[in-house]
Structure 1
Amino acid sequence: MSRQNKELMHKHLFDGTAWNVYNPNLLNLSVGAPGPDLLEPCCDIFQQATAHCLEHEKKSNNSLIFQYGPTSGTYEIRKEVAKFFSEMYTNSVNCEDLIMTTGATQGLHFVLSTLIDFSGYIFVDEYTYMIALDSMRHFTSLKIVPLKLNDDGVDLDDLDEKVRGRHFKSKNKEFWAIYYTIPTYHNPTGILFSPAVCHGIVQLARKYDFLVLCDDVYNILHYGEKPSIDRLISCDARTDADFVGNVISNGSFSKLIGPGVRLGWLEVPPRVKPLLDSSGIIQSGGGFNNYTAGIVASLFELQLAQSHIARLHEAYKERMLATIEILKSELPKSCHFVPPSGGFFIWIRLPDQLKALDFMEYCMERERITFIGGSRFAVEEGKGQQFFRITIGFYNKEKLVDGVKRLCLTLTDYIKTVDMNNC
């Protein structure tokens, strides 16, 4: 065992690995992040926003941006977030319902540690965001239960059966269980949960009183018709006679402004707001990201965030639609994918006799193209071996189109090679 940590001098999350997304000799279709061309304007717009914010702090706010912030985040940032997303969504976001976080993964961890009985359960889709799974596994006493996923969302019968068989009344926390999901442009599958499924989830959550936490990080990134239900929390309507408050919307600016900003928010019902606000982890340090939240509030006040987000939205749309067209025309007929109507991800199924990880090795050797195999998104051992996920956010349209064409050609060759070897 080494007695000293090694200084790696890395510059970004993907640095120092074989999958470095900034390596010009590699096409890494696994990274769900905006590319350098999309982030380039951030230096200028953040410089303007920082000057605007700090001038206000110096003149009239007693430099409170450098103080412990209020637990939910300042009114200024919550007001700007609520205003912007009220315009984006089909129903309004209320400022008083928001708690600022450092991103969606931290929001998930905060909710798990504060609201869920540690003897309870985490229900997840059979394929789900892999880093969320990694975070959940740190809570070693919580049992993770996978749920069947259909093309229109979670299988409600499966959810009902698995929840009913494990239901208990918690004596220690507000909820005995949580269902973690991504109903809008799901990660990794890209699907959009249907209105029937969304309403069904809320009905079951009320019936068995479990919490639903939705990663709502892609919701405004629609590339065609705007979905009729753009976030599941809107189905948990406070005007309903049986409303209690069972849904949390977990948002982030990572895909909309830039991951390095480390700013997100939880939109929560009145039932749980005081519990989160009184948590020791937020009481000790105050608002999770008070300084950056102040800068981003100025970014919105100056209308710089809105134009930046619109630009990213258009770029993602162009890249997704171009990628879908290539896959429709050049993906081998024995493979399958459901074209997403928004978001970041495309989920591709290989023929049953093939394994995605074997194809990934083949693709890396011949074309220096990589992606993520489906088993990385699965709770159950051995599941998802025929699937892989690609993303559209990082590379410009020309490089992405060229890469996906080469991916399809390589996959065609790979299938022929496997078939010949099996003869």
Structure 2
Amino acid sequence: MLNITQTRIPKGVIDLGVGHPGPELLPLDELHQAALHRFSRGDPSFLQYGAEPGDGYFRTELARFLSRHDPFELEPDSLFITNGVSQALDLICTVFTQPGQVVFVEEPTYFLSLGIFRDHRLEPVAIPTDQEGLNIEALEAALKRYRPALLYTIPSFQNPTATTLSPARRKRLVELSQEHDFLIVADEVYQLLHYGPPPPPSLGRFASSGSVLSLGSFSKILAPGLRLGWIQAAPARLQALTQSGLVASGGGLNPFTSALVRSALELGLQEAHLNRLRETYRSRLEAVLGALSLHRLKPRYTPEGGYFVWLELDRALNTQVLLEQALKAGVRFQPGPKFSSRGGFPHALRLCFAYYDVPDLIEGVQRLAAILPAP
């Protein structure tokens, strides 16, 4: 049967494993307005092969938008436009790594990044995390044993744990990258999705060091189907990306979509939509936390942004086995071992609060609690 949509949820199941926005949050009217605005300009240049780092007008508008949300001025020439963060990570691995090299990853980490590293035949080495994000002492110990090509981190509202790397650790991480000559690839797609105080400034503020590549995406703040993201880095680092075979052959990545999103930025549609997302996700997160508390379930860390809640259950439980029972009860989650490069966290699971509205989220937690042993 032809698969016409990526989101396939069995009838009667509340899938708290889905990690993207619900359909009612996709900005159809806003992007229609943006498209009308761009086509009305009478300039067909966005239908042509684009400049290698991305359209200059779009990068200028994107730099303005990002500078409003981070306490530092961001220059357009520090931005390279990509087809989303997954393609950005793949391109970084192509340009800056060789098969067999070590990459450091957080434990746990975004599970689909591990597939990209496998594709490039890289060896992931897990670095533990705690309530302040990546454990710097553990990183320093690992650096005595390994010479990584890069370290992949999700510093703000991490997927899956929702932890945020502290300012002191961010600074020390950059110092270590320069001392030991490895790249920091910071997946910062949740940086703007905060539901309380904002997180520390993005690692992009350290881009001028030459060792930081900060990745961002419109998938989380506008619409995933746009497949539009960016890399922020020192211009010398970006030059290596523009000279890659992929970009040399095809030109700038996604110039058509960039033009539409440029209009969304110019018209203030992106800013308004971001505010809407924050309000919606804040209420959904509060609903999930309230429902978990009602059933005496406590997240390992209390989220203040992002999409996810991380639960660590009794160590006697195996969430991969538990998932079979959950599906029969009409609820689904992502089991912990998926997020480990070494099969860890068999007793943990990840819940997402982005896809469903409050009533379904409460019902989903209730179904989950019903299959768990009493605390």
Which residue in 1 is equivalent to 2:336? 374
Which residue in 1 is equivalent to 2:23? 36
Which residue in 2 is equivalent to 1:170? none
State how far apart, in whole Å, the 1-side matches of 2:171 and 2:28 are.
42
State how far apart, in whole Å, the 2-side matches of 1:199 and 1:277 are.
28
Q: TM-score, normalised by structure 2?
A: 0.95
Report the residue type matching 1:184 in the other structure: S
Which residue in 2 is equivalent to 1:393? 354
State how far apart, in whole Å, the 2-side matches of 1:182 and 1:247 are.
13
Which residue in 2 is equivalent to 1:194? 166
Matches within 5 A, 1:71-86: 71-86=52-67
State how far apart, in whole Å, the 2-side matches of 1:198 and 1:390 are.
27
Which residue in 1 is equivalent to 2:190? 218
Which residue in 1 is equivalent to 2:220? 255
Give a deviation string over 1:174-204, Cα, whole Å, max 9, x none. Answer: xx61000101000011111111221121111
Work out whether 1:204 is the aligned partner of 2:176. yes
Deviation at 1:222, TM superposition (A): 0.9
State how far apart, in whole Å, the 2-side matches of 1:129 and 1:312 are.
22
* Among 34, 46, 54, the residue aligned to 2:39: 54
Give a deviation string over 1:140-190, Cα, whole Å, max 9, x none. Answer: 2x22111111121112122122223223xxxxxxxx610001010000111
Which residue in 1 is equivalent to 2:6? 13
Give a deviation string over 1:232-280, Cα, whole Å, max 9, x none. Answer: 232x274xxxxx4111110011111111111000001133021111111
Work out whether 1:329 is the aligned partner of 2:302. no
Larger mean CA deviation between 214-223 and 85-94 belongs to 85-94
Report the residue type matching 2:123 in the other structure: K
* Among 145, 152, 158, the residue aligned to 1:165: 145
Q: Is the contact made by 2:207 and 2:233 (CA closer than 8 Å) also made in structure 1?
A: no
State how far apart, in whole Å, the 2-side matches of 1:373 and 1:119 are.
28
Deviation at 1:123, TM superposition (A): 0.5
Report the residue type matching 1:70 in the other structure: A
State how far apart, in whole Å, the 1-side matches of 2:252 and 2:14 are.
38
Q: Structure 1 residues 91 and 196 mapped into 2: Cα distance closer, same or farther (>3 Å)?
A: same
Which residue in 1 is equivalent to 2:315? 352
State how far apart, in whole Å, the 2-side matches of 1:203 and 1:153 are.
17
Which residue in 2 is equivalent to 1:147? 127
Report the residue type matching 2:161 in the other structure: T
- Structure number with bigger Rg: 1
- Report SS of the residue matched to 1:338: coil
Structure 1 runs (4+) deviating above 6 angstroms are: none
Q: Structure 1 residues 162 and 386 mapped into 2: Cα distance closer, same or farther (>3 Å)?
A: same
Deviation at 1:24, TM superposition (A): 4.8
When the two chains are superposed, the root-mean-square deviation of aligned CA atoms in Å is 1.7
How many positions carry a matched residue from both structures?
375
- Report SS of the residue matched to 2:74: coil
State how far apart, in whole Å, the 2-side matches of 1:195 and 1:329 are.
34
State how far apart, in whole Å, the 2-side matches of 1:87 and 1:165 are.
41
Work out whether 1:128 is the aligned partner of 2:109. yes
Q: Is the contact made by 2:207 and 2:234 (CA closer than 8 Å) also made in structure 1?
A: no
Q: Is the contact made by 1:89 and 1:220 (CA closer than 8 Å) also made in structure 2?
A: no
Deviation at 1:119, TM superposition (A): 4.0
Report the residue type matching 1:407 in the other structure: L
Work out whether 1:266 is the aligned partner of 2:231. yes
